[in-house]
Amino acid sequence: MFENLTEKLQRAFKHLRGQGTLTEENIQEAMREIRVALLEADVNLNVVKELIDHIRDKAVGAEVMTALSPSEQVIKIVRDELIALLGKDTARFKFAPQPPTVILMAGLQGSGKTTTTGKLAAWLKKGGHRPILVSVDVYRPAAREQLKVVAKSIDAKIYEGDLKGEQPGSKLVERLANEARREARNFGFDTLIVDTAGRLHVDEELMTEMEQLKKLLNPQEILFVADAMTGQDAVNSAQDFHKRLGLTGVVLTKMDGDARGGAALSIRHVTGQPIKFIGTGEKPDAFEPFHPDRIVGRILG
């Protein structure tokens, strides 16, 4: 990811090398190249516009700086603006003052939600927590089975519950969620991660169910799992989920793939919610908190 963007940005900076000072003309030329590089990386159009405006304003105002060469000045400005776009600092993970902390995992089918639920549990365990997992996808037995396999692979506790042949629907979802929370309280698990049903598209039924779960569980974190490979679709669905649910953060998966990186660079700005973690592979440990400065360092090469 980002290889193309890195290459194009470097080309833009290179054109500034050998210039004595930043002039209106060479700034315009660099901005044009940076704009094209961002658009080709599939960054959201509004995000590109705003970013370029900020960079241009700063570059024009930076003319008097003499300690740095023109290309160094522009690189620094681009770095600062990209970091600001991604939210500056690593977003904190919120824990409940009184355990259990409840984490609701949201996302479309195939985004990596179940895998991420396991990764998050492994990350919490590493940090000294005692997570318990539950899948409330009562519509797809395979999904519940998958979480069981994931939990086993990281040696995490799962609350399976007994469906008792009950009709799949919101009543059953709420019963399972309630039971899992009780299990967490009774047996000293300090974090409950709820893997929810995914759909191929955002639909009313899914949103209503998520709203009900939010009301019932009052989660500290509602994390939207988005597949970075799907580009602007990931950004749009994150926005839809945020409007209905009020997300607390995003997990961008498949950052190890060959996506162009536009989703990673747009999602924070479009939803207003921070990327809290990224998934970088299929294995449980291919997961890390998102550090804006590190990603920008990688982009700028």
Q: Is 111 one of the annotated binding-site residues?
A: yes
Exactly one of 26, 114, 239, 266 binds ligand GDP (CB under 6 A); that residue is: 114
Exactly one of 281, 293, 298, 300 binds ligand GDP (CB under 6 A); that residue is: 281
CB of 137 to ligand GDP, least distance (A): 8
Does residue 288 bind ligand GDP (CB under 6 A)?
no
Residue 283 DSSP label:
S
**Among all chains, which residue has been given the structure tokens 């190890």?**
256
Exactly one of 256, 288, 289, 298 binds ligand GDP (CB under 6 A); that residue is: 256
Exactly one of 56, 144, 242, 254 binds ligand GDP (CB under 6 A); that residue is: 254
For 120: left if phi > 0, alpha if psi spans -120 to 50, otherwise beta; the answer is: alpha
Binding to ligand GDP (CB under 6 A) within 170-209 occurs at: 198
Interface stretch with ligand GDP, choices 17-25, 55-63, 251-259, 292-300 (CB under 6 A): 251-259
CB of 153 to ligand GDP, least distance (A): 12
Does residue 110 bind ligand GDP (CB under 6 A)?
yes
Exactly one of 26, 236, 248, 253 binds ligand GDP (CB under 6 A); that residue is: 253
Q: Are 247 and 274 in contact (CB under 8 A)?
A: no
| Strand stretches in 130-274, DSSP E | 131-135, 157-158, 191-195, 221-227, 249-253
Sheet arrangement for strand 249-253:
157-158, 131-135, 191-195, 101-107, 221-227, 249-253, 275-279, 287-289
Kind of pairing, strands 275-279 and 157-158? unpaired
CB of 65 to ligand GDP, least distance (A): 40
Q: Which residue number has the CB closest to ligand GDP?
A: 279
CB of 283 to ligand GDP, least distance (A): 9
Does residue 161 bind ligand GDP (CB under 6 A)?
no
d(CA 180, CA 182): 5
Q: For the beta carbon of residue 163, count every other beta carbon within 10 angstroms.
A: 14
Does residue 112 bind ligand GDP (CB under 6 A)?
yes
Q: Is 23 one of the annotated binding-site residues?
A: no
Does residue 284 bind ligand GDP (CB under 6 A)?
no
132 phi, psi to nearest 5 deg = -130, 140
Interface stretch with ligand GDP, choices 53-61, 95-103, 240-248, 254-262 (CB under 6 A): 254-262
Q: Supply the angle between the helices 204-217 and 232-245 in degrees, to the nearest 10.
A: 50
Q: Is 207 one of the annotated binding-site residues?
A: no
Token pair for 54: 């900020």
Write out the residues near ligand GDP by the rule CB under 6 A: 107, 109-115, 198, 253-254, 256-257, 279-282, 286
